[in-house]
Amino acid sequence: MVDAGPAVVFALVGAMACVAAVDTIMVGRRSASWPHVPGIVRRAWTPLIGRLFFGYAGPWLIYEYAVGSTVYEGSRVRYGRYLNPNAARRARYRYEVGAQMPVYYDPKSPTRAVLEPGAPADVWAMLSIGVIMLGAGLYFGLY
């Protein structure tokens, strides 16, 4: 008898990757139609742990933007992670302290904001890998 445990784990990880990718795609697409206002970066850094484990890391930011007379702080650069090291490096240098850029905010909840609206292209790779893992886990778990 074949142990189905590894196949179940493989299928679960694939399913979680699919759910995360679909969520990123849906929220990213919604953010593409949000209005934007001027913003300014107040703090910017690159997490050491990301550089140690992967050799690169996307920027972590604190930026300010005003909607009406209320000033908000945001930290989301984009929906989804940087899977491409070069894109992460370019983003890190684009968002230095004092940099001014448009901030896209959710009109229903102005505390939700992003600097790069839309779903990143890398999320499709994550969805594809998730589907393959889910399919392989189900196949090997059933046969």
Domain positions in the chain are 1-32+118-143, 33-117
Distance separating alpha carbons of residues 48 and 63, to the nearest angstrom = 20
| Total-model pTM | 0.76
Q: At 143, which helix (H) or strand (E)?
A: none
Residue 65 φ/ψ, nearest 5 degrees: -155, 155
Q: Going residue by residue through the chain, which has 143 residues, state the pLDDT in tens, using 9 for 90 and above.
A: 457 788 889 899 999 999 999 998 999 999 999 999 999 999 988 776 655 566 666 788 899 999 999 999 999 998 887 777 777 778 888 888 999 999 999 999 999 999 999 988 888 888 999 999 999 988 887 77
Nearest C-alpha neighbor of 60 from the set 82, 76, 49, 40: 76
Q: Between the CA atoms of 66, 39, 85 and 127, what dihedral angle is there, to the nearest 10 degrees?
A: 40
CA angle 82, 77, 62 (to 5 degrees): 130
**Two tokens at 91?**
């983003």
Nearest to 97 by CA among 125, 131, 136, 64: 64
- Residue 83 has a CB neighbour count (10 Å cut-off) of 16
